[in-house]
Amino acid sequence: MPLTILNAQLGRSKKFLKKCTPHNVVKEKIKETALKKIIPTTMIIAESLGSFSAHSQNINKSLLACNDVFQSKNVTRFVPFFPKPKDENVFPPLGSFDFLPRNNFKKNSECLREPYNGTAEQLDYFIEKLIPKRKGKKDYNPFFGKANSFMKISEKYNINPTVLVAIAMQESARGTSYAAVKKNNIGGIILKKGHAEFKNVEDCIEKMAQIIDKRVNENYNSIEKIGKSGKYCEKAVSDLWIKNVMFYLNKM
């Protein structure tokens, strides 16, 4: 092969090798990429942090300003306005309220003649909360809507109506016992032949009030004393009876 041809091939080979292994070029490309991408990204992050810091400072200034305003004596705080009805006897439905129980008695509290400061409507609300549903309704229950009866009869005998309700709840399994449903006997009143039968629930409430009034006059003036005495329930179950009656009593 002629020498000129060999030199030409060698020159082409060197150029090819430089093209395939461009070390210097690769380094320059990396530097160029870093300048174009990495540095601008860093600058954007730095600018964002600076912007966020400035924004947070503005927020802090606003909060401090609001705090100064609220601490000022010249500021009138917002109070919601509820217009009074034209007829003062008209109120929103009872179910829209959530009354807090008024009773906070202990088992040895002398509460049997304690006056009840609630209304019949409120007592009905508590009673309805305590009695169970049947087929989604509660109006089947002998307690349903009887708060007015409890209050009238308890006033007659000077007995706290919630005491009568609580004892009746315990004695009748919240108005679901056979005696309560079939005999209007919500008070667990027993005669020699078994559970007494009443024409209506009001007659049973009155009998209960008479019994409690008699026991209070005998100085059994707390739920614990009545329970332990065996004058209303058997002594063997008095502890459970007292506990349950107190539970119902303090739910009203």
* pTM to 2 decimal places: 0.63
What's the pLDDT at 36?
Answer: 47
Residue 221 belongs to a domain: yes
Q: How many domains does the chain have?
A: 2
How high is the pLDDT of residue 2?
52
Determine contact, residues 151/164, Cβ cutoff 8 Å.
no
What are the angstrom distances between the C-alpha of 247 and each of 40, 98, 242? 73, 19, 9
- Both 211 and 153 in one domain: the answer is yes
Same domain, yes or no: 64 and 110: no
Res 15: pLDDT: 55
- The contacts of residue 21 (CB under 8 Å, 6+ apart) are none
Listing DSSP states for 54-93 in one string gives HHHHHHHHHHHHHHHHHHSTTPPPP----PPPSSTT----
Separation of alpha carbons 47 and 19, rounded Å: 41
User: pLDDT 10s per residue in the chain (252 long)?
Assistant: 555 554 555 555 555 545 555 554 445 554 455 444 444 444 444 444 444 444 444 444 444 444 444 444 444 433 333 344 444 444 444 444 567 898 999 999 999 999 998 999 999 999 999 999 999 999 999 999 999 999 999 999 999 999 999 999 999 999 999 999 999 999 999 998 899 999 999 999 999 999 999 999 999 999 999 999 998 999 999 999 999 999 999 999
On whether residue 243 sits in a domain, the answer given is yes
Q: Check whether residue 55 and residue 160 sit in a common domain.
A: no
Q: Quote the CA–CA distance of 249 and 252 in Å, as a whole number.
A: 6
Could you tell me if 67 and 113 lie in one domain?
no
102: its two tokens: 């008024």
Q: Is residue 51 part of a domain?
A: yes
pLDDT, position 12? 59
For residue 75, give Cα distances in angstroms to 62, 172, 208. 17, 57, 58
Domain harbouring 160, CATH code:
1.10.530.10
- Do both 151 and 33 map to the same domain? no
Instruction: Out of 11, 46, 71, pick the residue that ends a domain.
Output: 71
* Domain final residue, candidates 71, 91, 120: 71
Q: Are residues 131 and 221 in the same domain?
A: yes
Residue 32 in domain: yes
84 domain-assigned:
no
Task: Establish if 224 belongs to a structural domain.
Answer: yes
* Cα-only R_g, the chain: 43
> Is the domain of 234 the same as that of 132?
yes
Single residue among 50, 71, 92 that ends a domain in this structure: 71
- Shared-domain flag, residues 64 and 131: no
Decide: 163 and 249 in contact? Cβ < 8 Å: yes
In-domain check, residue 98: no
**In the chain, what is the straight-line distance between the N-terminal and C-terminal CA atoms, in Å?**
120
For residues 122 and 223, membership in a common domain is answered with: yes
Q: 203 and 131 in one domain?
A: yes
Range of the domain at 109: 105-249
Cα 165 versus chain centre, distance: 25
